[in-house]
Amino acid sequence: WIRNGVVCVASVDGYRAIFSFSELFNRYDQVGPILSVSDKDEKSGFYRFFLPSDFYADRAVKAVKELYFFKIN
Query: Given this model, what pLDDT does residue 67 score?
Result: 96
Per-residue pLDDT tens, the chain, 73 aa: give them.
899 999 999 999 999 999 999 999 888 888 889 999 887 766 667 899 999 989 999 999 999 999 999 999 8
How many domains does one find in the chain? Answer: 1
How far apart are alpha carbons 44 and 63 in whole angstroms? 6
How far apart are alpha carbons 29 and 47 in whole angstroms? 24
Contact 19, 11 (CB under 8 A): no
Query: Given this model, what pLDDT does residue 24 score?
Result: 92
How far apart are alpha carbons 69 and 21 in whole angstroms? 8
How far apart are alpha carbons 13 and 61 in whole angstroms? 10
Query: Given this model, what pLDDT does residue 8 score?
Result: 98
Domain of 11, in residue numbers:
5-71
